Amino acid sequence: MTVPSSPASSSTPPARAATGLNRRTVLRAGALAGAAVGTGAFAGQAATAGAAVPVGAEAPAGGAVAAFQHGVASGDPMADRVILWTRVTPSAEAVPGSGLGDAVVVEWEVSPDPSFVTITASGTVTTDAGRDHTVKFDATGLAPDSWYHYRFRALGQTSPVGRTRTAPADGAMPASGRWRTGVVSCSNWEAGYFAGYRHLVQRGDLDVVIELGDYIYEYERGGYTAKFGAVRPHDPPHEIITLADYRIRMAQYHTDPDLQSLHAHVPWICTWDDHELANDAWEHGAENHQPHEGSWADRKAAGSQAYFEWMPIRPDSLRDGGFLYRRLRWGALAELNMLDLRSYRTESPGRFDGRAVDQTGTMTGAEQFDWLARGLGSSTARWNVIGNSVMVAPVLIPPLDNRTMGAMTELLSMPREGITYNSDQWDGYAGERRRLFEVIRATGNRNFVFLTGDIHSSWVNEVPTDAADYPGAGTDAVEFVTPSITSNNVDDILGLPEGNGLSASAQGALMGANHHIRWVDLDRHGYTVVEFTQDYAHADYWALHDHTRADSGAYPMHSWRTAHGTNQVAPAGPLP
């Protein structure tokens, strides 16, 4: 996602101006009761890193340092296991990124009930400063399609209780008959509060959260803010470059109470986009990386290490030969392919180089593409789902007034001169996209759903076989693009209210020029809830009233559904 470039110096950066740019009342009480043991009802501003005891944790006695300041989390659920995560603060000086503090032995327990009367699994794990005192491991030996609770103990203290679950057994349909996921992306600390996460907790009906990238942002204070400036300041204050920097920034985000609450409520399945490292990152560089900032390889290794330490994901390290891309199954109902579209991609075509498409570049890298092609070809799942950090549907930008075109240029990486693609997305890698859709068509299946983030706006697309011959040539997939939790969209860039006339005219023009785009909203922040059943995949889009307020309410924007075997979408009523 292209945002303003970095200043010349990251150590003493000048302040960068802000870019010129009720949920249901009856909750699922039974599900929430278990989650509330560990998460409480989080609201309000996030605590400063290292300054608060998470709700549900035991307060330390005698002025001791709170051991579990960054909450608990789980992720990557399989039929018999799930990743568990926390971070321990062993002493006052052992703050994230410090490299200080003794090794700590951490006990853990998993139970089917929140009071831990029965213990299903338990053990110990040791962490130290080499891992920034994070704890992450696979809790194995669990029953399929089951909910569990978990907790940690260390230094005489007990963590908040987390709530997690396993996937159905391979080949089995879920007992509920569905897979309901929260889909989120683009949570910029300085641009607002993470109230969308709170509303996802309050639903009480999610199986997992799918996070599609830009979990953090790398910019210095004031570098990329809300419409009228920073809502809350980034730590550290400079652009993050070193391992210590990335650890401090990851830790800050983990102090947000709504983020802690959602992590403790359900397992997450995550991938990164670019801002976990630097804007518009590719294999050997990034738009927001300059030579004076040192080696890109060193920066990439530092950001990657911090990400793998601080996120509840099964892969451990790219440097050790691991892969962030991976495949997870939800029984016979769905198979989820989570892609890594930053680590192996070639540099995107220049915004002003005059090329309409890049026929030779790669978004995925050869090994990941082959892995994806084999998986799609062999899948027996009812739905094939692709966790995709940048939009796959082609987009032609029609002529717009100068002001709106400037906003679209910034949001979508679109050049004013009229080159009709966003080169940072799949439009810049049209040759590889064409090969991907040849693979999809060769499977003979019709149930392909892309879940996408990145562009801070809401889109529902039928992905055309040939955009110039739509709908005649048919469709290969559908795509649900989730809005940003906080990161700037068109009204923010324009400095206008939501629903302004310029944004509305741009939405109409986009759909007029791209008939496969069935709906787009360029202004509102929020999240998406996507449900899969044997008969349909359904997406509810939710918007926040005001993402700059920690107590913001939320309201439904739109609902769309694709029926089994169609690769087409239609408006629908909201999920019950």
**What are the average pLDDT values for consecutive 10-residue runs of the chain, which has 576 residues?**
44 32 31 39 34 62 86 98 98 98 98 97 98 98 98 98 98 97 98 98 98 98 96 98 98 98 98 97 95 96 96 84 93 98 90 54 96 97 97 83 68 47 84 95 94 97 92 95 97 94 93 95 98 98 98 98 97 95
**pLDDT at site 468:** 84
Neighbours of 310 (CB within 10 A): 27
Please tell me the pTM assigned to this model.
Answer: 0.89
Contact 531, 575 (CB under 8 A): yes
138, part of any domain: yes
Closest CA to 347 of 301, 280, 409, 436: 280
CB 398 within 8 A of CB 522: no
Please count the structural domains in the chain. 1
Q: Over the range 481-511, which residues count as b (16 or more CB within 10 Å of their CB) and which as e?
A: bbbbbbbbbbbbbbebebebebbeebbebbb
Nearest to 379 by CA among 437, 318, 442, 321: 442
If we measure between CA atoms, which residue out of 182, 270, 267, 24 comes closest to residue 530? 182
Q: Tell me, what DSSP letter sits at residue 412?
A: H
Specify if 116 maps to a domain. Answer: yes
Give per-residue pLDDT as tens, 95-136. 999 999 999 999 999 999 999 999 999 999 999 999 999 999
Distances (CA, A) of 255 to 234, 306, 484: 12, 16, 20
Residue 536 forms part of a structural domain: no
**Mind giving me the DSSP string for 229-260?**
B-SS--SSSSPP-SHHHHHHHHHHHTT-HHHH
Contacts of 374 (CB under 8 A, 6+ apart): none
Tokens encoding 192: 């607002």
Domain CATH number, residue 37: 2.60.40.380
* Assigned domain for 144 exists: yes
CB distance 108 to 136 below 8 Å: no
CA distances to 94, 159, 339 from 59, rounded to whole Å, are 18, 10, 40
| Residue 297 placed within a domain | no
Residue 524 lies in a domain: no
How far CA 506 is from CA of 93, 290, 426, 568, in Å, comes to 52, 34, 21, 24
3-state secondary structure of 383: strand
Evaluate whether residue 94 is within a structural domain.
yes
8 A C-beta contact, residue 115 and residue 129? no
Percent helix, strand, coil in the chain, to 5, is 20, 25, 55
Tell me the per-residue pLDDT of 340-377, one tens digit each, with 9 for 90 and over: 999 999 998 765 554 445 568 999 999 999 999 999 99
pLDDT in tens, 254-278: 999 999 999 999 999 999 999 999 9
Give the residue from 150, 125, 99 showing the smallest Cα distance to 306. 99
* Spatial contact of 443 and 373, defined as CB atoms under 8 Å apart: no
The residue range of the domain holding 161 is 33-165
> Is 41 within the bounds of a domain?
yes
